[in-house]
Each structure stands twice: as structure tokens, then as C-alpha cells.
Structure 1
Amino acid sequence: MAIAATDNQTLNLGQRTERVRDAAYRIRHHSLNMGEVQGQGYVGQALGAADMFAAVYADQLDFRPAEPDWEDRDRFLLSTGHYAIGFYAALAEAGIIPVEELETYGSDDSRLPMSGMSTYTPGMEISGGSLGHGLSVAVGMALGLRHQNRTQRVINFLSDGELDEGSTWEAAMGAAHHQLGQLTAMVDINALQADGATAGVLRTEPVTEKWEAFGWYAQRINGNDPRALLQAFDNIAAQAALASRPSVILCDTKVGRGVPLLENREKAHFMRIEDNEWQICRDQLTEGFEGSNS
């Protein structure tokens, strides 16, 4: 049975928002548990993008958890392969992989390597370790589905750092030219790259205007606000009947979101977290989540 998007007909926006918020909390909790296995990793990105992953898997995609290669599934492409820790948590939350398997993250012979590999992990559509290629693959996939007279959606998750890549903008131009209305890009704008602040590496602003100039329907939102994410997807659905053009949701997020100890940590691209800090992180996450629901 397909789930997620087909359930939205019976839920109002408030109920959908609550469902996504709960899923995002569990994704963050899973990500911390996985990070503790290695003692380090791209934990900050997983926490920052959790709301984005939750919106997709708890609300948008049509998929079958027990049949990840179901022919009629919507496609979600993780261009940023190093975000895999958060993506695995989302796959577990969606029931595609067992929660217990998360304990094998980054270990020898695990299906969950530190950078996403489609050959290993159920539900992982592409290998995204080389940044800047995901949107090109998404464009090709959307075109392929069209040639097969199929209407499944393609959602590509990419980072603001990937906007430095010329291949990303070539793909953006191609998507608009071919009027790929079933294609949506989600850009995690956390303002951080491996070499430092995104703005200091290569200034990409004004981002919204650039995507619009390339022919995309662009929205910029708080990517850590589940309600704003759902409203953005609803806006895409509403405009799809009027224009066959691709859509992009530009999501401003905060690295380490939900865990104050990590939100303010320097050198946050790849974090080393001390043994005694992991439980502090989980406690802060739970306190913040329960406080927001009280």
C-alpha cells in the first residue's frame, strides 16, 4: 500500500504539520544515535535538514515501505551524499529500513555507509558523494518518466554549496526548457561548506531571483518550520495546473537545529562530539521538543 501523500486528503494542515514535526524529532534522535556509533560525522547537517526529510517522507511521497523499488513510487534523490546519516534516519522513520539497522551506520559490511550509495541502501535512488550532479540526474529521471508516459514526481535534495557548481545551473536551465513540472528541488541553505561560510566561498545571492530567472517557480522559506514546508508544497501543487515548470523550495536552516550544544559549535561541517556529550545532546533535543508541544 502506498502511503504519505495519499493520506493528506483526510488531514488538515495542522494535523499534517504535527505529523511532520513528530517525525522530524524522531529523525533527529535517530541521527544522534547513529552519530554516537562513530563519535563524529555530519550530524549537524542531519539535525538541520530533519524537517525537510520529514516533510517529504511523512507528507509528500507516494511509496511502499516493503517495496522500495515499486515502479509507481515518487523519486527522492539525495544529491548531498554526506547527508546520508539524516536520510537513513528518514528511511527508518518511513519503515523502509529497520530502526535496529541504524546501529550499523558506517561500520564494515553495513548497508549504511557514511556517504550515500545506491548500490547498498534500499530507498537510496542515487549515489550522491560527488556534489553538483544530483539535479542533472533528477532532470534525466523526470524526462525518462515523461517518455514512459508516467506522472511520478521527482524531488531532488541539494545544498547551497552545490549552487557553486556550473552543472547545477545547466540542469536548472534544462529542466525549465523541457517544462518538467513534476520536478521539485529542495535546497538546504545552511550557509556552511567544508571550507567555511558559503558566502565567503562563493557568493550566490540573490538565490531566489536566480532560480526565477532560470524559469523555476521559486519559494524561500524557513526550512526548520514544518508548516512552512507543507505550505510550500501545497503552493507547488496549486500552481502545477497553471504552469508546467519545475519548482524549487529554498530552505534556510540551522546546522545542529534542536540541539543548542551543537547549534553554536565552531567547525560544524564535520563534527567531533565527545563521549560525554551525546546524552546531553539527546536530553536537549527532547527538552526542546517537549517544550514546543507544551
Structure 2
Amino acid sequence: MNDLRKWCKKCTKFVIINKQKETKKNMENKQLSLHAKNIRRNIVKEVYAAQSGHPGGSLGAADILTYLYFEEMDINQDNVNSIQRDRFVLSKGHASPALYAVLAEKGFLPEEELVTFRAINSSLQGHPNMNYVTGVDMSTGSLGQGVSCAVGMALSNQLDQNNYRIYALLGDGECQEGQVWEATMAAAHYKLDNLCIVVDANNLQIDGRVSDVMNVFPLEDKFKAFNCHVITVNGHDFDELRQAFQKARTIKGKPTVIVANTIKGKGVSFMEDQQGWHGVAPNEEQYHLAMKELEAE
């Protein structure tokens, strides 16, 4: 490190390039943070308007979805109806408020439509339906099935020599489903290196701590035993997410699993790490308090 510093003093150009790269990265992270803040505000708006839904897991997954849709995945309004793009499966389908908020932030649906969440005639149902919402790549809700769908997509791309990638977001409680492991076994068997599974690991589910209800930890060891490449990150750190997804693209001959440690209810202090906010809507006072915190952030 001392040699590098001495050399930098003699080479002005190298120092400037590094500063430019650092500035660019900081700008990217700042923009991602702004998207994530808007997404969290809209998550709260959706669940409050419906007086129903799952705010905790949606808020906790917001940074992961923000990074996927605004930096990692090739998806935009021009290619949304094309097979020649990346695909995303929200296997934990009850976190649909986060997906809808991201799609609105991306411009796939009008932001004002979000307040129709879970209304009887709305396309924004409690679990995402690919037949109703542009940008939803798979109808999900039955836990464990989404990852199987993602494996099927990845296998189809492999057979068609389609180089686009498939991403799936699971909950850690969802990993109690046996189908998750059958699908993972198939993904490894068929060497689906175009598949990236992300586990939203917040150690909370509707009945309490995942480790108390039915312990799935350590997830890393389990996925490694199924012959996956495993990376563990802070699911709220854009630098760590960036490094993990970039690394996943270099892995050949096996799927990658990113275990993203998150905080359920992230961004709203009274919801953070609280099992009670798994599937409860805020009242008017709580809504205004949550929005005030997110505005201040």
C-alpha cells in the first residue's frame, strides 16, 4: 500500500482516473438510494391504501430489487415484451408491493395506479399475475414454486442458446419448502450458470423467527452441498450487491446463490426486525409516521 501511494504521487493521471471511478460509483449508489427511497414510500402507500398486504418483507427486499432493476438486469420499456432480455421471478410473491413499486419506478405502470393495490378490479393483486401486469415475468404466491419456474426459464434459455439471465428472489422462510431444494438440485445438475438465486435472509416469517419455527440455517452450507456457488452479502449495501452480481456473471457450470442478509421492515424504524409487521397494514397515524421517516431519509 505504501508503494502504491508513492507511485500515485508521481503519476497524476492515475490518481485522477481513480477519483473519477470513485465519483462515478458514488453517484450510482446515490441514484440507487433515491430509487430505493421512492420504492419504499410507494410500498407503504400501497399497503396503507389497501389496508392489507405485507409491508415488512417488501421493505426489506427494496434494495435488492432496486439494484436488480436499475443496474443489473437488462429490462426496459423497449424490450419488455421480447424474449431477448433478463427475467425476474419473485418467488416470495407476497412481497408484491415491492415489485409493483419497482415497476412503477421503472415506468412500466403509472405510479397513481399503486393505490389500487388489492382492490377487487385492480390488476395489482396481492400476489403478482403475469397476465395483468407488464413486467411481471411469472405469477407467484405458492411458496417454493417460483424457484422451480426460474429453473425452467434458465433451462429453456440454455437449450435455446439464449444468453440472457434469470433471477429469482426467495425468502429464507420459503427455504423450508422441499420444492426449493428439488429445484436447486435440478439447477446444479443441468449446470445452469445463467441462473442467480437471491435469498432474502431476514430470519423472520409470519409465525416468528425462521430459526425457531423451522431452522434453515446455515443456508450457505446447504446451497454449497447442492453444488451452487454461494456468496453472502449485506442486502442493503449496494457496493456488496454490485460485487456479488458481477461475480455471479463469471461463474461457469453451476448456478449462483446470493444469500442477502436483510432487515425486515428496513427504512421504517417501528417496523424494522418486527415479526408483527409481516402482514399487517399501518393505521393512519403509523402511515404518516412511516412516510415522515422515509421523507427524512
TM-score (norm 2): 0.88
Residue 235 to residue 100, structure 1, CA distance change in 2 (3 Å): same
- TM-score w.r.t. the length of structure 1 is 0.89
Q: Find out whether 1:125 has 2:141 as its counterpart.
A: no
Alpha carbons of structure 1 residues 235 and 93: separation in structure 2 relative to 1, 3 Å: same
> Could you say which residue in structure 2 is the equivalent of 1:279?
288
Pairwise CA distance, 1:270? 0.8
1:94 to 98, 103, 106: 106
For 1:18 and 1:234, locate their aligned partners in 2 and report how far apart those are by CA, in whole Å.
Answer: 19
Aligned partner of 1:83 among 95, 98, 106: 95
CA distance in 2, matches of 1:235, 1:18: 22
Give how far 1:135 is off. Answer: 1.1
> What is the aligned length?
276
Alpha-carbon displacement from aligned partner over 1:7-48 (angstroms, at most 9, x marks no partner) = xx9x94333322222211111011111122122320111111
Please identify, of 257-266 and 53-62, the stretch whose mean Cα deviation from structure 2 is larger.
Answer: 257-266
What do residues 51-73 of structure 1 show as CA deviations (whole Å, max 9, x unaligned)?
01101001011112255222211
Counterpart pick for 1:215 among 227, 236, 252: 227
Matches of 1:101 and 1:199 in 2, distance apart? 37
Which runs of at least 4 in structure 1 moved beyond 6 Å after TM superposition? none
Distance across 1 between alignment mates of 2:169 and 2:125: 18
Residues of 2 paired with 1:113 and 1:159: CA distance? Answer: 19
Identity %: 34
Q: Of 59, 63, 68, which aligns to 1:51?
A: 63
Provide the residue aligned with 1:249 in structure 2. Answer: 258
Report the alpha carbon displacement of residue 160 of structure 1 after superposing the two structures with TM: 0.5
- Any conservation in 2 of the 1:64–1:70 contact (CA below 8 Å)? no
**Structure with larger Rg:** 2
- Is residue 69 of structure 2 the alignment partner of residue 60 of structure 1? no
Q: Measure the CA separation in 1 of the matches of 2:112 and 2:80.
A: 18
Q: CA–CA distance in 2 between the matches of 1:272 and 1:32?
A: 8
Instruction: Give me the CA root mean square deviation.
Output: 1.7
Shift of 1:166: 1.1
Deviation at 1:249, TM superposition (A): 0.8
Question: How much has 1:190 moved relative to structure 2?
Answer: 1.3
Mapped to 1, the partners of 2:60 and 2:41 lie a distance apart of 12
Q: Give the Cα separation in 1 of the matches to 2:43 and 2:244.
A: 25
Question: Who is 2:120 aligned against?
Answer: 108
Answer yes or no: is 1:74 the counterpart of 2:122.
no
**8 Å contact kept, 2:150–2:195:** yes
State the Cα distance separating 1:92 from its structure 2 match: 0.7
Q: State whether residues 19 and 58 of structure 1, in contact with CA within 8 Å, keep that contact through their aligned partners in structure 2.
A: no
1:192 corresponding residue in structure 2? 204
Consecutive unaligned residues of structure 1, counting only runs of 5 or more, are 1-8, 290-294
Structure 1 counterpart of 2:185: 173
Structure 2 counterpart of 1:134, from 146, 157, 161: 146
- SS of the residue corresponding to residue 263 of structure 1 reads coil
